[in-house]
Structure 1
Amino acid sequence: MVYKDRITTEITEPITVFLIGMRVNKLLPLSRWLKVARAMPPMIETLMKHPDKGMLHGESFFRLGPLTTILVSYWKSPEHLENFARNPNDPHLKAWQEFYKLVGTDGSVGIWHETYVIQPDQVESVYANMPMFGLVGATKNAIPAKGHRSTFRKRLLSRETVKN
C-alpha cells in the first residue's frame, strides 16, 4: 500500500539503526565476491522468520559501478543486534568467519557497517507517496504529517525549546 498523503512516525524508545554493506573492488575472481553476497539472504530470512531476534525492518539497495550493496535496518536495541551477530546458531557468525578465510585483507571485496542508537527526541521522518518504508516501516505507525507534525522544525526541533 502506498500512502499518498505525507506521513511520519514517532518513536517513544531508543531505536538502533544498522547499516551494512559490501563493495566489490575487483570483479575477478567472481566466486570470491559472489560467495560474500550470497551470505546475506539467509541472514535476512532468519531475521524475518524470528522477530524476537530484534530486527524491526530493513531495506536493501544495490548500486553498479562500483558494485555496492547496502542494507538499512532498524533494531530494537544494540544488544539484539550483537546477540544475532555473535550467536553461533545464527548465520552471521559463520559467514563472517568464512569471509576472513576466503577474502581476508586481499582487497577484493570490502564489507562495512555503521551502527547508530537514536533517541526519540533526536529523529524525524517524512514520507510522501511511499509504502511502509524506513522508520515508519520499523514502527508500523504511519501518522499524518499535519498540524504539529507538518514540517521538519515542528517534528524535530519543537520537541524541546529551540536553543539560541
Structure 2
Amino acid sequence: MAKEIFPGRFTADIGRDNITVFLIGMRANRWWKTAKVAQVASAMPAMMQHLAKNPEAGLLGSEQWLGRTTILLTYWESPEHLRKFAADRESPHLGPWRKFMKEIAGSGDIGVWHETYQVPASGIEVVYNGMPLFGLAKATSHVPVGPGRNTAKQRMGSAARVAHK
C-alpha cells in the first residue's frame, strides 16, 4: 500500500516540553550465523506489537531500518515510560533480553546497542518536504510550515512555544 505523500513543507508540533528519543539496534557481526541473527531480530516485532496495543506504555511512534546493522528509532513520552517498559515483567522485553545475555552476549556474533536522549522542545527543529508522515511528525503532530516557522532558526524552539500555549 502506497503511503500518502504530502507535497510542500511540514514540521512537527510535539505539544510538550520535551521528548525522549530512544535508538536501539543490532549488528550481525557474523551474518552467516543466521539462526542467532534471526533469534535476536525476531524479538522486536513482539515488543512493537505489545507497545502498539498498550499506548499507556508511552511509545509515541517509531521508524525502522533493516540491514546488517538494524536501527529502530523510537519516540517516548518520557524516560520513565521507557524504563518502566524495559523493566516490566509483563512486557515482551525482559525474556528476550535475558535469553540474549545468557546465550549470545559476549560471543561476538551479534552486537546490540541503544542510545537514549531527553530532548527539550526548544532544541528540536524538523522539516519534511514532499514526504509521507514520518519521524517525529508522525509520532506527534504533522503541521504545515507557515509564518513563524519558515526557517530552521524559526522552527528551532517553536514546539516549546506551542506546548506552553
* TM-score using structure 1 length: 0.90
The C-alpha deviation readout for 1:26-61, integer Å capped at 9, x for no partner, is 123221111000011000000011111110000110
Deviation at 1:157, TM superposition (A): 6.7
Unaligned runs of 5+ in 2: 161-165
Any idea what the Cα deviations from partners look like across 1:141-161, whole Å, max 9, x if unmatched?
22211221011111117899x
Q: How does 1:1-164 map to 2 (within 5 A)?
A: 1-11=4-14, 12-63=16-67, 67-139=68-140, 141-156=141-156
Task: Assess if the C-alpha contact under 8 Å between 1:74 and 1:135 holds in 2.
Answer: yes
**What secondary structure is seen at the aligned counterpart in 1 of 2:8?**
coil
Work out the CA distance in 1 between the residues paired with 2:125 and 2:102. Answer: 41
Q: CA RMSD in A?
A: 1.7
Comparing 103-112 with 1-10, greater Cα deviation is found at 1-10
Number of matched pairs: 156
- Structure-2-length-normalised TM-score: 0.89
Quote how far apart the aligned CAs of 1:103 are. Answer: 0.5
3-state SS of the aligned residue for 1:106? Answer: coil
Which residue type is aligned with residue 68 of structure 1? T
- Displaced runs of 4+ in structure 1, greater than 6 A? 157-160
